[in-house]
Structure 1
Amino acid sequence: MTETRVGLIEFGKAIHDSVTVPGLGELPGGQVSAGRAVRGARARLRRGDRIVEDNLRLGIVVRKKYFSSDVEPVTDAGFLKDVFVAVGRRDLGNGDALELYTDDAAGPDMSRPEGAASVVAPAFEPLTGFHAQVHVREGILRFGALCSSTRGGQPMRVLGLFGPAGPLEELSSGQVGTVLLGFQCDAPPMAGDTLTAFPSPEFVEQRDGTAVVHGVSDLGQGAVVAAVEVPEGRSAAFTVGVSVRVLRPIGTTFNERSTVVAAGLPVLSLARDGIAVRTTAGSRVFTVGLGTRDLRQNDVIEAYVPSSPPLSPPPLPPVAAADLVDLVDVNAAPADELGRLPGLSPSRVATALELRRRQGSFPDVEAFGVAIGLQPHEIVRLRGRATAGRVALPETGVRQLDI
């Protein structure tokens, strides 16, 4: 992964909610609560526990001058500084946050253009950056739209649209107006260039919270169980099967950043107070099982649900009938069937039956193996031979792993 979280701007924490910029209007104000706000950075709009839009751009950044009501452009602002920004949305308000990041590999979906405009007369202002008079040749050019230029470079956001009477929401085919691009341009616009506009989805993902890793136990074969804690004042609801990212903090408090070292990892198991559970809602300390070995103390795991399910994996090649193995359900199989599983001695079978009688069932094969005392290499041998059937579970169950 190449994504690095470089900063966070929270709205509602600045001394002033907005400032007026000549020729542009009001810009909302926020406080840099982590890292740095760097002009031109990509941004996600976080509203509560949802990411409602991605691939915004920090196109204009200004600050109020000391002892004055005037504003001045800045290229970046550090920790706890107030800034006023243009990103291509008019609805930023108290409680919203812009998550700033860089990512050289992943870009927005720009496969469905909805408009194209020719640059007629480009211009530049020291306070608001690049703007240009344009003529829309086809489709629609909207305020806030993603756009690309024939001169190349990173995708940009339309930070403002203006006609003779003032701000506009869109320009239709055949219309002429002024488009504001700010300081996003990798190459200055020139007469004859084409700006192609693209729609942007308004919901990206649901965030279910974060937890900080305090200790890691390696199960072997690419899996770990980690002891984690939800930060004070935060809430999180991890669920077995949900996807998580692993964020690795770098830098200092005044320039804090986090690199995404893994994404799309499913939560294999959860335990609270040593008892396996399906969800950790309301709990601050618990253990989580993940299918990765690249996990360290002080890493942060972030649970999320994408707006649409991931693409189905390609179909598996056909399996010969002779190669098919009936999986043993550790939540329902009798003693003789459990005894045929690798590593299950009579004493371990007896332990499994007793735990199953007292506590109902096991959430997965890994939790079953840990509960009856199997070693990591023995748990690996169970994969492909056993399964854990779905049952109605209370919020208690099998003992898992204490760290």
Structure 2
Amino acid sequence: MTETRVGLIEFGKAIHDSVTVPGLGELPGGQVSAGRATRGARARLLRGGRVVEDDLRLGIVVRKKFFSSDVEPVTDAGFLKDVFVAVGRRDLGNGDSLELYTDDTVGPDLSRPEAAVSVVAPAFDQLTGFRAQVHVREGVLRFGALCASAQGGQPMRVLGLFGPAGPLEELPAGQVATVLLGFQCDAPPMAGDVLTAFPTPGFVEHRDGTAVVHGVTDLGPGALVAAVEVPEGRSAAFTVGVRVRVLRPIGTTFNERSTVIAAGLPVLSLARDGVAVRSTAGSRVFTVGLGTRDLRQNDVLEAYVPASSPALAPPLALAPPPAPPVALVDVNTASAADLARLPGLTPDRVTTALELRRQQGGFPDVEAFGVAIGLQPHEIVHLRGRATAGRVALPETGVRQLDI
């Protein structure tokens, strides 16, 4: 297993829910709440505790320019940055997350082609990347479909499908339209290339939560018991027999990543306060028995049920709607009292923040705000989901621009 989780984009936390990109339309906006968002990364969509789709690609990433309503392309966005993305879905909204990862060995199922198209006229621009006018030779080409080039390379997503009258959901055989591929092409599409389209994979698994390992007791050959804790503000319901992954964190706060060390490990036993239980629902601290020897302090256990598991044969109850988001404190407009409610902001730091804001007109983002007032990296992390930095106007310089 070579999967590495490299970032997480959460929708509903950005200052703006969407932006309009010329020639493309609206792109949904989210905040990088862990790791980094790198253009071209593979992604899976998390919604209500489920992985509802895998093998998405972060094909287009843009951000709003400072002090402007215009957008610009981004190749990499760090922790707490707002980004607007195209991944081949139009339904990303509040409460959704994109889990970004790299994996060199596991790919999508490309055994059932549903369309073959010929590239007629490729094109490229700096903002939205590659696009091509295509002719569907057979089958039906659909928006969001996986497609692979006969020239090789990683599978791509159809990020946009456009006809003369605007966006299309599908294109039947014999028709011509423009396909948007963005920046996910390993090699530029050329006239005469053939792209084969495949159906998109559906529901992948249900996630039952995560727990952090705080201690390990070796029970002998191939078995151990781990003392774990569910992170504050989250919930988890481990059950005897459920499968878990072991994720090993690497990197720093601003480049947080996790490598999947093992997957498919069944939970052999559970205990709470020294008493064996079948499920840990509602508990934050408990012990887990696993059939592995490779487990360390600070590893993360992720409980999941694959879509193919008999446990998911009956339809799962719909997840409750997400709790309403906490009102974010805008560090560029908030009063002293509102700033004081943010974690880590002592009276002295509030005074410093107000004075710096008066002098420079505001802060470009939350990270810059934290650094400017003297917060340490671990303190800036606690501003996640609590603060934002709204658009600010540049202060007047008093300098006249001369026409020469």
- Normalising TM by the smaller chain, what interval? 0.7 to 0.9
Q: In the aligned structure 2, how far is the partner of 1:76 from the partner of 1:93?
A: 22
| 1:9-40 per-position Cα deviation (integer Å, ceiling 9, x unaligned) | 00000000000000000000000000000000
Q: In the aligned structure 1, how far is the partner of 2:67 from the partner of 2:210?
A: 40
1:147-166 superposed matches below 5 A: 147-166=147-166
Secondary structure of 2:309's counterpart equals coil
Q: In the aligned structure 2, how far is the partner of 1:165 from the partner of 1:280?
A: 54
Structure-2 residue corresponding to 1:187: 187
Gap regions ≥5 residues in structure 1: 311-403
Q: In the aligned structure 2, how far is the partner of 1:28 from the partner of 1:34?
A: 18
Structure-1 residue corresponding to 2:372: none
Secondary structure of 2:209's counterpart equals strand
Q: In the aligned structure 2, how far is the partner of 1:44 from the partner of 1:74?
A: 20
Structure-2 residue corresponding to 1:219: 219
1:296 aligns with 2:296: yes
1:281 aligns with 2:289: no
Secondary structure of 2:62's counterpart equals strand
Structure-1 residue corresponding to 2:306: 306
Paired residue type of 1:87? V
| 1:103-145 per-position Cα deviation (integer Å, ceiling 9, x unaligned) | 0000001100011100001010110000000000000110000
Q: In the aligned structure 2, how far is the partner of 1:151 from the partner of 1:128?
A: 22
Structure-2 residue corresponding to 1:178: 178
| 1:249-275 per-position Cα deviation (integer Å, ceiling 9, x unaligned) | 000110000000000000000000000
Structure-1 residue corresponding to 2:126: 126
Q: In the aligned structure 1, how far is the partner of 2:307 from the partner of 2:280?
A: 22
Q: In the aligned structure 2, how far is the partner of 1:91 from the partner of 1:220?
A: 49
Gap regions ≥5 residues in structure 2: 311-404
Structure-2 residue corresponding to 1:315: none
| 1:64-112 per-position Cα deviation (integer Å, ceiling 9, x unaligned) | 0011100000101000000000000000000000000000000001100
**Please, what TM-score do these two structures have when normalized by structure 2?**
0.76
1:314-393 superposed matches below 5 A: none
Structure-2 residue corresponding to 1:102: 102
Q: In the aligned structure 1, how far is the partner of 2:19 from the partner of 2:129?
A: 17
The structure having more radius of gyration, on CA atoms, is: 1
Structure-1 residue corresponding to 2:358: none
Q: In the aligned structure 1, how far is the partner of 2:49 from the partner of 2:166?
A: 35
Runs of 4+ in 1 over 6 A off after TM superposition: none
Deviation at 1:292, TM superposition (A): 0.3
Paired residue type of 2:251? G
Secondary structure of 2:254's counterpart equals helix
| 1:366-389 per-position Cα deviation (integer Å, ceiling 9, x unaligned) | xxxxxxxxxxxxxxxxxxxxxxxx
| 1:311-337 per-position Cα deviation (integer Å, ceiling 9, x unaligned) | xxxxxxxxxxxxxxxxxxxxxxxxxxx
Q: In the aligned structure 2, how far is the partner of 1:52 from the partner of 1:121?
A: 34
Structure-1 residue corresponding to 2:261: 261
Structure-1 residue corresponding to 2:41: 41
Paired residue type of 1:73? P
Paired residue type of 1:157? R
Query: Identity percentage over the alignment?
Result: 88
Q: In the aligned structure 2, how far is the partner of 1:32 from the partner of 1:202?
A: 25
Structure-1 residue corresponding to 2:200: 200
Structure-1 residue corresponding to 2:20: 20
Q: In the aligned structure 1, how far is the partner of 2:90 from the partner of 2:159?
A: 9
| 1:289-326 per-position Cα deviation (integer Å, ceiling 9, x unaligned) | 0000000000000000000139xxxxxxxxxxxxxxxx
Q: In the aligned structure 1, how far is the partner of 2:220 from the partner of 2:56?
A: 41
Structure-1 residue corresponding to 2:138: 138
Q: In the aligned structure 1, how far is the partner of 2:87 from the partner of 2:306?
A: 23
Deviation at 1:201, TM superposition (A): 2.4
How many equivalent pairs are there? Answer: 310
| 1:44-81 per-position Cα deviation (integer Å, ceiling 9, x unaligned) | 00002000000000000000001110000010100000
Deviation at 1:202, TM superposition (A): 2.0
Q: In the aligned structure 2, how far is the partner of 1:295 from the partner of 1:48?
A: 28
**Please, what TM-score do these two structures have when normalized by structure 1?**
0.76
Secondary structure of 1:190's counterpart equals coil
Deviation at 1:220, TM superposition (A): 1.1
Structure-2 residue corresponding to 1:73: 73
Deviation at 1:221, TM superposition (A): 1.1
Q: In the aligned structure 2, how far is the partner of 1:151 from the partner of 1:62?
A: 28
Q: In the aligned structure 1, how far is the partner of 2:201 from the partner of 2:66?
A: 39
Q: In the aligned structure 1, how far is the partner of 2:98 from the partner of 2:201?
A: 16
Deviation at 1:151, TM superposition (A): 1.3
Paired residue type of 1:158? V
Paired residue type of 1:112? R
| 1:161-196 per-position Cα deviation (integer Å, ceiling 9, x unaligned) | 000111100110100000000000000000111111
Structure-1 residue corresponding to 2:327: none
Paired residue type of 1:202? G
Q: In the aligned structure 2, how far is the partner of 1:67 from the partner of 1:140?
A: 43
